[in-house]
Structure 1
Amino acid sequence: MSKAAGKLKILKKTADKITHTTKLKTNIPAGMAAAGPPLGPMLGQRAINIAAFCKDFNTRTAEIKEGIPLPCRISVNSDRSYNLVIHSPPATFLLKQAAGIPRGAMQPGREIAGMITLKHLYEIAAIKIQDPPNTLLTMQQMCEMLVGIARTCGIKIVRELNPEEYAKFLEDRQAIVAEQKRELQEKREAKMLRTG
């Protein structure tokens, strides 16, 4: 009887440690965590103290430029405390920043949205390899992964980049982007007329 009671006590101890909520994965702008949607409801569902979380996050990201999206992984413990892991900005964000473009290509493979040098690629790889999911990758594997991501954004990787020529390219590209935005708006309006 006492043996069974002892086993039951051990089982109860291990059962208390089980967390039934999934790890929350979300992007939060640096220094701009707020209690409102979409973050507030996500934290509230997991019984996290929203005000304390926002204060903690904003303090931990105070040195980072405000507004930069930061992928976060939040796991909740049984005592309602949480573990917050903040990753470096997404690779697409870093690649677009390096290329000096606000958005990627609408038709990757058919158009070039921007260009970066191999040096840019290596520097971004050095940042991204520090993220927990990438720690087991070699630098070569990280660079290869970034090459694939750059391709999906329509960013071309070159050995050298002439600043004057690239400035001209970006200027010409603005006209193409404006035309693409206009076409998208026309399609949206046409769809609204059909459904309205």
Structure 2
Amino acid sequence: MSKAAGKLKSLKKNVERITHTTKLKTNIPAGMAAAGPPLGPMLGQRAINIAAFCKDFNTKTAEMKEGVPLPCRILMNSDRSYDLAIHHPPATFFLKQAAGIQRGTMTPGREVAGKITLKHLYEIAAIKIQDPPNALLTMQQMCEMLVGIARTCGIKVVRDLDPTEYAQFLEERKVIVEDQRRELLEKREAKMLRTG
């Protein structure tokens, strides 16, 4: 038994540390990286200095509007250093900003949450095509992809948009959104009563 225990101890000494070769993919709000969950535990599992990472990320995103979600790719090196790649905000963020809405529709295809023009779509495509995952796409492919994303958010792409008519549409839409929020809140409360 003692020979086996001795061999086991020598095996433990020979085992190397696990190195994470996959990239950590996460969305971090600009200028708001903090050591708390969910970011802190993800970095801690990969043996990255959390405080140094947060400081580095916040300085790199200092010129951006605070709170804008930024997709990040973090590649860990064996010497506990990391390579940080910060991409442009997600397409859904840009589309909702261009449409002037806070959230998309609950039933895509059946209701319209907002509208954008082709010019908005082209400008968003010009920004998003600069991201490394989209580098091999043509502008037409990028625009087609954005049209599909807009459709899933309930955003309609139109040629021309009348500002006064659209402002009236958004006012009508606010009432619908409030009704949907109230309905969701009632469902959540009913579920809490059933489980409590």
Q: Partner letter of residue 96 of structure 2?
A: K
Match of 1:168 in 2: 168
1:120 alignment counterpart: 120
Runs of 5+ unmatched residues, structure 1 = 1-15
Quote the Cα distance in structure 2 between the aligned partners of 1:59 and 1:73. Answer: 17
Query: Matched residue pairs, number?
Result: 180
Task: Tell me the distance in 2 between the aligned counterparts of 1:149 and 1:110.
Answer: 15
AA in 2 matched with 1:84:
L
Q: Which amino acid aligns with 2:93?
A: F
> 1:76 matched to which residue of 2?
76
**CA contact 2:94–2:124 (8 Å) conserved in 1:** yes
- Verify the 8 A CA contact 1:21 1:46 in the aligned structure 2: no
TM-score after normalising by structure 2: 0.89
Deviation at 1:22, TM superposition (A): 2.4
Q: In the aligned structure 2, how far is the partner of 1:83 from the partner of 1:188? A: 41
Hey, what's the Cα distance between the residues in 1 that align with 2:37 and 2:190?
31
- The unaligned stretches of length 5 or more in structure 2 are 1-15
Quote the residue 2:107 is aligned against: 107
Q: After the TM superposition, list the runs of 4 or more consecutive aligned residues in structure 1 that deviate by more than 4 angstroms.
A: none
User: What percentage of residue pairs aligned between the two structures are identical?
Assistant: 84
Alpha-carbon distance in structure 2 between the residues aligned to 1:20 and 1:194 = 43
Deviation at 1:123, TM superposition (A): 0.3
SS in structure 2 at match of 1:71: strand
Q: Is the contact between residue 48 and residue 82 of structure 1 (CA under 8 Å) also seen in structure 2?
A: yes
In structure 1, give the amino acid aligned to 2:44.
G
Shift of 1:19: 4.1
User: 1:117 touches 1:160 (CA, 8 Å); kept in 2?
Assistant: yes
Residue of structure 1 equivalent to 2:12 = none
For the 8 Å contact 1:116–1:157, the answer to whether it is kept is: yes
CA distance in 2, matches of 1:103, 1:187: 19
> How far apart are residue 21 of structure 1 and its match?
4.2
Preserved CA contact (<8 Å) 2:107 2:154: yes
